[in-house]
Amino acid sequence: MVDRELLDCLRHSRHDWMNTIQILKGNIALGHIDRVDQIMDDAIRKSEHESRLSSLNVPSTAMFLLTFNWHSHWFYLDIEVSAKNVDCQSYEHCWYEILSSFTQELDKSVKPGKENQLLVTIHAYEEPYLEIDFQGELEQTERIENWLALFSNSGKCYLEDIVWNEKELLFVALNNK
């Protein structure tokens, strides 16, 4: 029997690529070659980071991040991965817990219809960690304050280097040893 979830992933991925191809064709037809180069560079960069993420041995985290934008949210999520072929399996639980709970609270806290962006950077070196950078507008700051207080130093994960102002929230997520 065919795995429906796998077919759904393939369908979404094909849809994303078809959108990119249509945008490329439209810009070529309009003679916007500089824009075509930029779109192609962005697609290559995104694919490289997705490939690096897929090789970190964090399947739940990877699936969560790779499929996040396929669902309706009030912000767009982008990923960057600084290294490749590093085994981050011991970070899987912490990363998934932080990312899934933070994005859920963020979705309830941002101002709908604004340009809200979340960049998740995975620094996969000797001591891997997440850098989470939200840029946009928050409506319900108390939800985020409560979430930050909960994760600032609890369980297997903790947060540090928290920077927060009207338009940005930046923090680093680390594993407790």
Burial letters for 32-42: b for 16+ Cβ neighbours within 10 Å, e otherwise?
Answer: eeeebeebeee
Give pLDDT, residue 15.
86
Distance CA 70, CA 72 (A): 7
Give pLDDT, residue 176.
73
Cβ neighbours for 54, distance < 8 A, ≥ 6 positions apart: 62, 66
Give pLDDT, residue 177.
58
**Mean pLDDT computed over 54-72:** 94
Domain boundaries, the chain: 4-175
Write down the H helix ranges in the chain: 4-29, 33-54, 59-67, 92-109, 141-151
Per-residue confidence at 2, pLDDT binned at 50, 70, 90?
Answer: low
Architecture of domain 4-175: 2-Layer Sandwich (3.30)
- CA 94, distance to chain mean position in Å, is 15
Distance CA 123, CA 164 (A): 21
pLDDT tens string 145-162: 999 988 876 667 888 888
